[in-house]
Amino acid sequence: MALFLGIMFKLHGKFKINDSIRFRTYQGKIVEMTSRCIVIEDDKGELIFIPYDELARDIIIKNHPAENILSYNFLLRTPPTKAADERILIFF
């Protein structure tokens, strides 16, 4: 049964490698989709193997890609000889 569900899960095409998902109490990035289970890696680097028959019984939440974006703010300082209005502030 798991093999059939695995084929259907892959053909459905809603999930792919590197997608971030939540399933029950598990959350992580899909790192592998085998014939019998999906493998996700959590924030601690632990691998979680979830059989397709378990996935078929419950809700799977695909996290929005924006939730995976890291942002950094930093200030670029120029030499003191430059005027204050010539300084550049860069945001990412």
For 2-63, CATH gives: 2.30.30.60
Q: Is 11 helix (H, G, I), strand (E, B) or coil?
A: helix
State mean pLDDT over 23-33: 90
User: At which residue do the structure tokens 């200030």 appear?
Assistant: 75
- pLDDT tens figures, 33-91: 888 889 999 889 999 999 888 887 878 888 776 555 666 677 777 777 655 555 555 55
Amino acid identity, position 26: Y
Three-class secondary structure of residue 86 per DSSP? helix
Q: Is 49 within 8 Å of 37 (Cβ atoms)? A: yes
Separation of alpha carbons 56 and 35, rounded Å: 14
pLDDT bin (cut points 50, 70, 90) of residue 5 is low
